[in-house]
Amino acid sequence: MLSPPSDAWKLGLIPQAVANGLTSILVLFFLLSALHGGLFDVGLVAGLSALALIPSQMLWGRLVDGAGRCKPFLVFGFVGMGASLAAIPWAGSVTGLLALVSLKSILYAATVPARQLLTVESERHAGWQRGLANMQFLTGIGETIGMGIGALAVSVLGYTQLFLMCGGLCVLSAALLEVVAQEPGLMIQRRLVAMERSTSTLVTLSDFVSSPQRLSEGFAASVLRQLEHSMKFLVVGILSFSLAGSALFSPLPAYFLRYYSSGLVFLLFFGGSLTGTLCYLVVGRLAQSAGKSLVLASAIRMVAMPVLLLSALGATPGLIVALVVLSTLEGFWSLFDVTSTFAFLESAQLGQAGFYGAIVGLGAAAGGVLGGFVSSQFGFGSLFVLCSAICACAFLSFALQFRSTGGFGW
């Protein structure tokens, strides 16, 4: 997976990813059992945590681009995350927990554009999708390991020991990246891609000027596509996809706790995470266009979400259904994750690297609150159907985006 020598820095992301995988469910267990919170509190924790990412990633993205350096932001972000996670056991109320997870999100936001830019600026344009998939594969491995640790340790160790361990893992990532990560030097890869797009536009205009008689409806549409390349449907699609995923997954551990033990719930998410992680191996090598991939991911998740209602079957068949659906959802999240990041970074202007994370964060924030509210007021059946409808909106947006820009490769 790590072909260039400079890719070794990505291994330093794994300890923090282990902590992330463990705390993604552990925080909810802590909220429900130790702080006696409800489903709406679960939604608030997920929503405010994601909401904190929106301005943070926009700010950090500009700072990373402006500084021309990535490593300081990675180190600072992971050290701050470690301190925030280690302090969670001493949160005496839901309000205190909200403050700590929001702080963790703000500090985590410093690492997202930094790792994305370090990846794409260390690769030629042709290798961006592979490089992003490799990075996500390694962090996915870490998150899967974290969930496995949770399944084994949640009934043995207390919350204090587990959160302190997670804090230490984040600090370990910071130390490894300080030693191993290398700055890409001049950040020119995205500038080169922008120049390629500009050159393509000039060639099209030159062709028109030399042959005015070729002006036709099809040719005019081609010129307009290149001169007025719009990302509006792409942004709506990314926002909708993130919104549906967050609304579904934020209260989902509480749904499964109705039928299974805490250890089995961790195992369910472990299985889904493992599938999603392995899918990164395939995603990075897919020859399909971003348009095809995003439309396919939206369609499959739209169909799969309501099937989670069958988890209420008997212990064994219900567990199998839940595992299959979670694995499907995670697998197609991997496809969305890589292709949407690639499509956005390829089209975004310089200085907008943090906007992708902000869009995803906005969807996650709204989805967290929406998921908690709908599940508590109307039940999980209504939530699953609503999330499926939002995925349908993402499907339509991606179809319109790539049909208008010719990005399906058909």
3-state secondary structure 80-123: HHHHHHHHHHHCCCHHHHHHHHHHHHHHHHCHHHHHHHHHHCCC
Residues 78/174, Cβ–Cβ less than 8 Å:
yes
pLDDT, tens only, 185-218: 544 444 433 433 333 333 333 343 444 444 344 4
DSSP codes joined into one string, 189-247 = HHHHHHHHHHHHHHHHHHHHHH-GGG--HHHHHHHHHHHS---HHHHHHHHHHHHHHHH
pLDDT reading at 101 higher than 80: yes
Per-residue confidence at 36, pLDDT binned at 50, 70, 90? confident
DSSP assignment letter at 157? S
391 closest CA partner among 362, 367, 365: 367
For 127, the token pair is: 């290798």
397 closest CA partner among 246, 248, 232: 232
Amino acid sitting at position 273:
S
Instruction: Compute the distance between CA of residue 373 and CA of residue 353 in angstroms, rounded to an integer.
Output: 32
Q: Report the range of poorest mean pLDDT among 254-258, 266-270, 352-356.
A: 352-356
pLDDT, tens only, 213-229: 443 444 334 433 433 45
DSSP assignment letter at 307? G
DSSP assignment letter at 186? S
Residues 390/247, Cβ–Cβ less than 8 Å:
yes
341: CB partners within 8 A, 6+ apart: 116, 132, 356
Mean pLDDT in residue range 32-50: 81
For residue 226, the model assigns a pLDDT of: 39
